[in-house]
C-alpha cells in the first residue's frame, strides 16, 4: 500500500495518522460473506433489519473478494469447497481480516466426517472465531467488535499487510 | 400398535398384478409396518422395472439407493433399493430390492423409464461404486472427481483416511501469499496436530464399522 | 473440455469396488500430487468457436448456497449448461450409521437449515414408524403447528430471496423481519432460533410454555399484512412479472418423470402432497386446500408459495383451536425419553433414561426391518429410508432429499435462455444446498 511506504519511524505524526487510518478502516469494514450453510442464514439475519450490522459500519456487503476486506467464513467447509475458499481468500487485497463464524468453520463442529475440514484455520489464517451452532447474531456482532479492536491496534509500518 | 402412515391400499397389489412368470422372478416378499418390499436378483431387475413402469403404471420413481452388507450374512454384498410409486386415484407405493454382487457391481440403468434415475443412480454410484450401465452421465455427484474411495461402503471409516487434511496452508508473507505445509505452521487449534500420537489416535479411531 | 449433461458414458475405466479398496490400503498421499482438483479448474474462454464457457459459482451471490453452474454461452444465450454440486457434502448418511437414533435428530436440522423443524419432525416420524409407536395427540398437534410455522419461514424466505435476486431487495428485508417473529416462537419452545433439534423419538423435547398461545396468535395477527404487501409490490411491478413469467417452464409430465415434488411440482400441475396422500400426524383432520397452478413457470412457483403460506396459516389456526391437553411423550419408556422432572425424582425413569441414552443400549428396532417414510417438507417430499440391524444405530440411513430430485432438471430449463433467466429460475427453484448435498 502506498500509504504505508511513506510513513517511517515513530513520532506524533505517525501515531495520529495511524489512529485516523485505523478509525476509518474499522468503522467501514466491507464484509465478504462466504456463506455456505446454516450460519449463512444467521449472517443474513445479522445483515437484516433487527440485528442491523450497518449500525457499525459494515453495511456494504461486497460479494466480490476484490472489493472486500473482511471475510466471514460461515458454514461448514467441505473438501470441494476448501480450494474455492482459499482462492477467494487469495483474491482479497490487503489489508484483510477473517472471521470464522460458527463451530463448523472453527473446528469442524458437529461433523467429524471424511469430507469436512475440521477448522479452516488449518489452511488459512483466521483472526476471530465465533462459537455457536449457529451463533446468535449478537455473537457475530461481538466478533465484529473484536475485529474492530484488532484493526484499531494496527500500525501502518508493521509490514503485516504488505509493504 | 398402528403405524403413523395411514394408507397403503391393497398392499399386495404390485405382486398380485404380476403375471405368473414374473411372479417367479420375485424371490422374496417382506412387509414391515404395512410397507411391502419385493426382492429380486440382478438379472431380472430391468425386466421387472420395465413391467412395473409400462404395464402397471408406476410412473414416479421416488428414490434409488443402495445398502452395503459387508460382513453380514447375506446372499450378496449390495442391495439396491428402488422406491416406486403410482400417483393418482389408484395410488400405491412399494419398494423393489435388487441383490448385487461385489465382483460384478453393474446394473442396467433405468433412466429411460424415469428421468429421476439419472441423478439417483449417479449418487448411488458416487457413494457405493455401483456402475449403472447406460446412464448417460455417471460422473461423481457429491465427492470430488478424483476422490479415491466410495464413502458409504462399510469398510471406509467415518473420519476418512486423511483426505480432509491434504491441503496446503495459504499464508501472507510480506507482499506475497505463499502456500506452506500445514505441519510447519502452528495454529491455535492445530498446534501439535500432526504429531505421531495424533496420527495414531486418528488411525485407531477410524476403524470401519 | 466442454461439459455436457448428455455426453456418452465416459471412456475412462470406472473403478470397481475391489480396485479402490486396494488403493485405500496403500495410502492416499499419492492423490495429493499438487494437481488441482478438476472441480475448481479454471473454465476460461473459448476454443475459437465463439463460445464462452463461463463458471457460475460456487461462491456467488445469486446461487442459493454452494451451487456451481457451468454455462457455455453464445452471446448471452446459454447453449449448454452443466451443474456441479457437492460443495456442502457432509456425510449425514454415514453419520447416521454411527450415531444413535436419538442423537441423529441434532444433525437432521442442519440439512434444510431454513426449516429445521420439518427435518426434525420428518426424521422422528420415520423412526417412530420403524418402531411402530404412536405419539400422543397433543404432541401431534404441536408438531403440526411447528411444521407449518417452519414451512411459512421457508416459503417467505424463498419469496424474499427471489425478490432480491431480481433486484427487489426490500422484499428480502421484510421477509427477514417477519421471520424474526417465527424465530421468537422457536426460541420460546426450545431455546434455539435456527437449529432447533426439538423432536425426540416418541415425542418432543418438552412441552410448550404457558405463553405459547399468545405468541402464536400474535404472530397470526402480525404476519398476513406482509403477504398483501409483497403481492402489491411484486405483482404490480412490470420488471418482476416480465422476468418470471414463462421462464423455466416445467411441464406436468416432466415433473412426474423427474421425481419432482413440493411447490415446484404443484406449480406445474402435478397434484402431489404427502400431507394428503400419505397423511401423518393427523393431517387428515385439518381442513386445508392444496393449491395447484398449471403454468409451471417461475411466476407460478411464486404464486404457489404465497398460496401455500396462506394455507399453512389456516392449518395453524385450526390446530391451535383444537390443541388437546395431555402428555407430549409416548408412554413406552423403552423407546421414548421420560421428562426431566420424572428423571430427577423417580428411580424407574432414571433407569429408563440411562438405558436409552447410553451407547450400546438405546432404541433397538427389529433387525432387518426397513422403512421408507416421507413427510412434506417445504421443498418437497423429504423421505427417510431407514434399515435396522437390531443395534442402537441405524444400519443404513438414507435421506431422500427433495432438492436433489428438483434440481436435476435445472440444466434443461436454462438451455436456450439467457443468464438472467437462469438466475430467475434458480431462485424460484429454491434449492437448499445443505439438503442437496447432505
Distance CA B107, CA B88 (A): 30
Let me know whether C341 and C302 are in one domain: yes
Q: Best mutation site among A31, A36, A72, A118 for testing chain C: the one with the most C CBs within 10 Å? A: A36
Distance CA B65, CA C404 (A): 13
Let me know whether C232 and C369 are in one domain: yes
Residue range C284-321, pLDDT digits in tens = 889 888 999 888 889 999 999 999 999 999 999 999 99
CB A75 within 8 A of CB A40: yes
Let me know whether B141 and B199 are in one domain: no
Let me know whether C199 and C298 are in one domain: yes
Query: How distant is the Cα of C98 from the closest Cα of chain B, in angstroms?
Result: 8
pLDDT for the residue numbered B206:
61
Which pairs with CB-CB distance under 8 Å and at least 24 residues apart come from C15-24? C15/B129, C16/B105, C16/B129, C16/B131, C17/B102, C17/B105, C17/B128, C17/B129, C17/B150, C17/B153, C18/B102, C18/B103, C20/B129, C20/B148, C20/B149, C20/B150, C21/B155, C23/B148, C23/B149, C24/B148, C24/B149, C24/B156, C24/B161
Let me know whether B93 and B185 are in one domain: no
Residue B1 lies in a domain: no
Let me know whether B115 and B191 are in one domain: no
Q: C256 has which bridge partners?
A: none
Let me know whether B125 and B193 are in one domain: no
DSSP string, A72-120: EEES--BTTHHHHHHHHHHHSPSS-EEEEESHHHHH-TT---TTB-S-G
Question: DSSP code of B179?
Answer: E
Residue that is last in its domain, among C23, C58, C84 = C84
pLDDT for the residue numbered C37:
35
Chains that touch B (3 or more CB pairs under 8 A): A, C
Let me know whether C322 and C185 are in one domain: yes
Let me know whether B48 and B24 are in one domain: yes
Q: What is the mean pLDDT of residues C275-292?
A: 89
Distance CA A142, CA B87 (A): 52
| The three three-digit cell numbers of residue A4, written as one number | 504505508
Let me know whether B105 and B156 are in one domain: yes
Let me know whether B134 and B175 are in one domain: no
Asked, as a colleague might, if the bond just before C429 is cis with ω within 30 of 0, I would say no
Residue range C216-251, pLDDT digits in tens = 999 999 999 989 999 998 888 888 888 888 888 999
Stated as kind and residue range, the H or E segment containing C183 is helix C169-190
For chain B, the 3-state helix, strand and coil shares in percent, each to the nearest 5, are 25, 25, 50
Query: How distant is the Cα of C410 from the closest Cα of chain B, in angstroms?
Result: 12
Chain B residues within an 8 Å CB radius of A107: 189
Residue range B124-179, pLDDT digits in tens = 999 998 999 888 888 888 988 888 888 999 888 888 777 777 777 777 766 667 77
Question: Per the CB < 8 Å rule, is A114 touching B170?
Answer: no
Q: CB of A60 within 8 Å of any CB in chain C? A: no
Local confidence band at C334 (pLDDT 50, 70, 90 cut-offs): confident
Biggest alpha carbon–alpha carbon distance for chain B = 78
Residue C415 lies in a domain: no
| The three three-digit cell numbers of residue C385, written as one number | 429410508
Identify the CA nearest to C384 among candidates C403, C400, C367.
Answer: C400
Chain A, window 82-141: residues with a beta carbon less than 8 angstroms from a chain B beta carbon: 82-83, 86, 89-90, 94, 106-107, 112-119, 121-125
Residue C432 lies in a domain: no
Let me know whether B200 and B99 are in one domain: no
What contacts A7, CB < 8 A, 6 or more positions away? A14, A17, A156, A157
Let me know whether B129 and B191 are in one domain: no
Q: CB of A111 within 8 Å of any CB in chain C? A: yes
Chain C residues within an 8 Å CB radius of A81: 58, 66, 87-88
Quick check: B198 pLDDT over 70? no
Local confidence band at B6 (pLDDT 50, 70, 90 cut-offs): very low
Report the half-sphere exposure of C129 (CA within 13 A, side-chain side). Answer: 29
Q: ipTM of the assembly? A: 0.85
Quick check: C27 pLDDT over 60? no
Task: Write the residue in C113, C172, C173 that is nearest to A37 by C-beta.
Answer: C113
Which structural domain, as residue segments, surrounds residue C61?
5-84
What contacts A52, CB < 8 A, 6 or more positions away? none
Residue C437 lies in a domain: no
Identify the CA nearest to C381 among candidates C270, C248, C252.
Answer: C270
pLDDT for the residue numbered C168:
85
Instruction: Report residue B38 CA to chain centroid gap.
Output: 18
Quick check: C13 pLDDT over 70? no
Instruction: Compute φ and ψ for A78, nearest 5 degrees.
Output: -100, 180
Task: Write the residue in A80, A122, A163 that is nearest to B190 by C-beta.
Answer: A122
Distance CA C197, CA C336 (A): 15
Residue C57 lies in a domain: yes
- Kindly list the averaged pLDDT for each block of 10 residues, start to end, along chain A of length 163: 57 77 89 89 89 87 87 90 88 87 89 88 86 91 88 73 56
Distance CA C217, CA A104 (A): 36
Which structural domain, as residue segments, surrounds residue B45?
8-164
| The three three-digit cell numbers of residue A153, written as one number | 491496534
Residue B3 lies in a domain: no
Let me know whether B160 and B191 are in one domain: no
pLDDT for the residue numbered C47:
59
Residue B123 lies in a domain: yes
Question: Per the CB < 8 Å rule, is C385 touching B158?
Answer: no
pLDDT for the residue numbered B209:
43
Chains that touch C (3 or more CB pairs under 8 A): A, B
Let me know whether C24 and C77 are in one domain: yes
Residue B2 lies in a domain: no
Let me know whether C325 and C389 are in one domain: yes
Task: Write the residue in C23, C387, C408 that is nearest to B148 by C-beta.
Answer: C23
Q: Best mutation site among B63, B144, B166 for testing chain C: the one with the most C CBs within 10 Å? A: B63
Quick check: C378 pLDDT over 90? yes
Distance CA B96, CA B42 (A): 11
Question: Could you give the number of structural domains in chain C?
Answer: 2
Residue B44 lies in a domain: yes
Distance CA C71, CA C69 (A): 6
Let me know whether C31 and C116 are in one domain: no
Residue range C181-228, pLDDT digits in tens = 999 999 999 888 988 889 988 888 888 899 999 999 999 999 999 899
Identify the CA nearest to C276 among candidates A49, B116, A26, B7.
Answer: B7
The pTM (predicted TM-score) of the whole model is 0.86
Q: C296: left (phi > 0), else alpha (psi -120 to 50), else beta?
A: left
pLDDT for the residue numbered B187:
43
Chain C residues within an 8 Å CB radius of A136: 193
CB A97 within 8 A of CB A70: yes
Instruction: Compute φ and ψ for B42, nearest 5 degrees.
Output: -55, -45
Question: Could you give the number of structural domains in chain B?
Answer: 2
Distance CA C313, CA A95 (A): 49
pLDDT for the residue numbered C405:
92
Identify the CA nearest to B72 among candidates C24, C131, C388, C392.
Answer: C388
What contacts C19, CB < 8 A, 6 or more positions away? none
Residue B13 lies in a domain: yes
Stated as kind and residue range, the H or E segment containing B119 is helix B117-128
Distance CA A144, CA A142 (A): 5
Local confidence band at C137 (pLDDT 50, 70, 90 cut-offs): very high
Local confidence band at C32 (pLDDT 50, 70, 90 cut-offs): very low
Instruction: Compute φ and ψ for C372, nearest 5 degrees.
Output: -120, 120
| Average pLDDT over all residues of chain C | 84
Let me know whether B148 and B71 are in one domain: yes
Task: Round to the nearest angstrom and report the end-to-end CA distance of chain A.
Answer: 6
CA distances C272 to C123, C306, C381, C428, Å, are 20, 17, 9, 19
What contacts A42, CB < 8 A, 6 or more positions away? A74, A101, A134, A135, A136, A137, A140, C193, C194
Let me know whether C61 and C159 are in one domain: no
Q: What is the mean pLDDT of residues C408-414?
A: 90
Q: Which of B190-199, C59-68, C316-325 has the highest mean pLDDT?
A: C316-325
Let me know whether C60 and C96 are in one domain: no
Residue range A120-144, pLDDT digits in tens = 888 888 888 999 988 999 999 999 9
pLDDT for the residue numbered C48:
62
Identify the CA nearest to C234 among candidates C170, C291, C297, C151.
Answer: C170
Q: CB of A84 within 8 Å of any CB in chain C? A: yes
Write down all domains in chain A, each with its CATH number in brackets: 15-152 (3.40.50.12280)
Q: Best mutation site among A114, A118, A161 for testing chain B: the one with the most B CBs within 10 Å? A: A114
Quick check: B193 pLDDT over 60? no
Which pairs with CB-CB distance under 8 Å and at least 24 residues apart come from B170-174? B170/A86, B170/A89, B170/A90, B170/A123, B170/A124, B170/A125, B171/A124, B171/A125, B172/A94, B172/A125, B172/A160, B172/A161, B172/A162, B174/A159, B174/A162, B174/A163
Residue C342 lies in a domain: yes
Query: How distant is the Cα of B143 from the closest Cα of chain A, in angstroms?
Result: 7
Residue C414 lies in a domain: no
Question: To 10 degrees, what angle do helices C137-165 and C419-429 make?
Answer: 170
Residue C188 lies in a domain: yes
What contacts C241, CB < 8 A, 6 or more positions away? C234, C235, C299
Residue B109 lies in a domain: yes
Nearest-Å Rg of the Cα atoms of chain B is: 23
Q: CB of B135 within 8 Å of any CB in chain C? A: yes
Let me know whether C227 and C129 are in one domain: yes
Chains that touch A (3 or more CB pairs under 8 A): B, C
Let me know whether B97 and B137 are in one domain: yes
| The three three-digit cell numbers of residue A125, written as one number | 489464517
Amino acid at each position: 500500500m502506498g500509504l504505508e511506504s511513506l510513513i517511517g519511524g515513530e513520532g506524533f505524526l505517525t501515531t495520529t495518522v495511524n489512529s485516523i487510518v485505523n478509525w476509518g478502516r474499522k468503522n467501514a469494514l466491507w464484509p465478504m460473506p462466504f456463506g455456505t450453510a446454516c450460519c449463512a442464514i444467521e449472517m443474513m439475519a445479522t445483515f437484516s433489519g433487527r440485528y442491523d450490522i450497518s449500525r457499525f459500519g459494515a453495511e456494504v456487503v461486497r460479494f466480490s473478494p476484490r472489493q472486500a476486506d473482511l471475510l466471514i467464513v460461515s458454514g461448514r467447509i467441505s473438501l470441494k469447497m476448501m480450494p474455492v475458499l482459499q482462492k477467494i481468500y487469495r483474491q482479497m487485497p490487503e489489508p484483510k481480516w477473517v472471521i470464522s463464524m460458527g463451530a463448523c468453520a472453527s473446528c469442524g463442529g458437529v461433523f467429524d466426517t471424511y469430507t469436512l475440514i475440521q477448522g479452516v484455520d488449518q489452511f488459512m489464517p483466521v483472526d476471530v472465531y465465533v462459537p455457536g451452532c449457529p451463533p446468535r447474531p449478537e455473537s457475530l456482532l461481538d466478533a465484529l467488535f473484536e475485529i474492530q479492536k484488532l484493526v484499531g491496534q494496527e500500525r501502518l509500518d508493521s509490514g503485516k499487510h504488505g509493504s | 400398535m398402528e403405524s403413523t402412515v395411514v394408507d397403503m391400499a391393497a398392499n399386495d397389489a404390485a405382486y398380485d398384478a404380476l403375471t405368473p412368470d414374473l411372479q417367479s422372478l420375485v424371490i422374496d416378499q417382506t412387509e414391515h409396518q404395512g410397507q411391502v418390499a419385493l426382492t429380486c436378483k440382478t438379472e431380472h431387475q430391468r425386466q421387472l422395472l420395465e413391467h412395473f413402469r409400462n404395464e402397471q403404471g408406476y410412473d414416479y420413481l421416488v428414490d434409488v439407493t443402495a445398502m452395503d452388507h459387508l460382513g453380514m450374512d447375506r446372499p450378496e454384498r449390495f442391495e439396491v433399493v428402488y422406491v416406486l410409486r403410482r400417483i393418482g386415484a389408484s395410488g400405491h407405493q412399494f419398494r423393489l430390492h435388487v441383490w448385487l454382487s461385489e465382483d460384478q457391481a453393474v446394473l442396467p440403468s433405468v433412466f429411460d423409464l424415469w428421468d429421476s434415475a439419472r441423478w439417483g443412480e449417479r449418487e448411488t454410484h458416487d457413494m457405493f461404486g455401483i456402475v449403472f450401465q447406460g446412464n448417460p452421465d455417471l460422473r461423481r455427484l457429491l465427492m470430488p472427481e478424483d476422490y479415491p474411495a466410495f464413502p458409504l461402503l462399510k469398510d471406509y471409516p467415518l473420519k476418512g483416511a486423511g483426505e480432509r487434511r491434504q491441503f496446503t496452508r495459504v499464508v501472507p508473507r510480506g507482499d506475497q501469499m505463499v502456500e506452506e505445509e500445514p505441519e510447519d505452521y502452528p495454529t491455535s487449534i492445530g498446534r501439535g496436530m500432526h504429531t505421531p500420537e495424533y496420527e495414531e489416535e486418528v488411525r485407531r479411531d477410524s476403524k470401519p464399522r | 473440455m466442454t461439459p455436457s449433461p448428455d455426453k456418452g458414458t465416459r471412456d475412462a475405466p470406472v473403478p470397481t469396488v475391489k480396485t479402490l479398496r486396494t488403493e485405500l490400503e496403500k495410502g492416499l498421499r499419492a492423490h495429493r500430487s499438487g494437481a488441482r482438483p478438476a472441480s475448481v479448474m479454471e473454465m476460461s474462454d473459448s476454443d475459437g468457436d465463439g463460445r464462452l464457457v463461463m463458471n457460475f459459482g460456487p461462491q456467488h451471490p445469486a446461487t442459493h448456497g454452494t451451487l456451481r453452474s457451468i454455462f457455455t454461452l453464445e452471446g448471452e444465450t446459454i447453449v449448454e449448461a452443466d451443474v456441479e454440486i457437492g460443495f456442502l457434502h457432509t456425510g449425514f448418511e454415514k453419520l447416521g450409521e454411527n450415531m444413535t437414533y436419538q442423537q441423529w435428530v441434532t444433525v437432521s436440522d442442519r440439512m434444510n437449515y431454513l426449516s429445521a423443524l420439518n427435518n426434525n419432525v420428518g426424521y422422528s416420524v420415520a423412526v417412530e414408524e420403524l418402531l411402530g409407536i404412536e405419539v400422543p395427540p397433543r404432541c401431534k398437534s404441536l408438531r403440526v403447528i411447528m411444521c407449518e410455522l417452519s414451512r411459512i419461514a421457508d416459503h417467505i424466505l424463498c419469496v424474499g430471496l427471489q425478490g432480491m435476486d431480481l433486484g427487489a431487495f426490500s422484499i428480502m428485508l421484510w421477509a427477514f423481519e417477519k421471520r424474526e417473529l417465527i424465530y421468537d416462537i422457536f426460541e420460546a419452545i426450545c431455546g434455539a432460533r435456527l437449529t432447533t433439534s426439538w423432536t425426540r423419538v416418541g415425542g418432543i423435547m418438552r412441552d410448550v410454555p404457558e405463553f405459547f398461545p399468545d405468541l402464536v396468535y400474535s404472530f397470526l395477527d402480525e404476519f398476513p399484512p406482509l403477504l398483501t404487501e409483497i403481492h402489491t409490490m411484486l405483482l404490480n411491478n412490470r420488471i418482476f412479472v416480465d422476468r418470471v413469467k414463462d421462464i423455466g417452464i416445467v411441464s406436468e409430465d416432466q415433473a412426474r418423470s423427474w421425481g419432482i415434488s413440493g411447490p415446484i411440482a404443484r406449480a406445474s400441475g402435478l397434484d402431489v402432497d404427502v400431507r394428503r396422500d400419505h397423511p401423518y400426524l393427523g393431517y387428515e383432520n385439518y381442513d386445508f386446500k392444496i393449491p395447484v397452478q398449471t403454468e409451471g413457470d417461475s411466476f407460478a412457483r411464486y404464486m404457489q408459495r404465497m398460496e401455500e403460506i396462506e394455507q399453512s396459516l389456516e392449518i395453524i389456526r385450526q390446530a391451535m383451536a383444537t390443541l388437546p391437553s395431555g402428555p407430549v411423550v409416548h408412554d413406552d419408556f423403552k423407546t421414548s425419553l421420560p421428562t426431566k422432572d420424572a428423571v430427577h425424582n423417580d428411580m424407574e425413569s432414571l433407569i429408563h433414561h440411562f438405558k436409552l441414552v447410553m451407547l450400546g443400549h438405546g432404541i433397538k428396532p427389529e433387525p432387518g426391518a426397513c422403512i421408507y417414510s416421507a413427510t412434506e417438507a417445504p421443498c418437497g417430499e423429504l423421505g427417510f429410508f431407514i434399515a435396522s440391524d437390531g443395534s442402537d444405530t441405524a444400519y443404513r440411513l438414507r435421506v431422500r432429499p427433495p432438492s436433489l430430485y428438483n434440481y436435476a432438471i435445472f440444466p434443461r430449463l436454462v438451455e436456450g435462455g439467457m443468464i438472467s433467466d437462469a438466475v430467475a429460475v434458480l431462485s424460484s427453484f429454491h434449492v437448499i444446498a445443505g439438503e442437496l448435498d447432505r
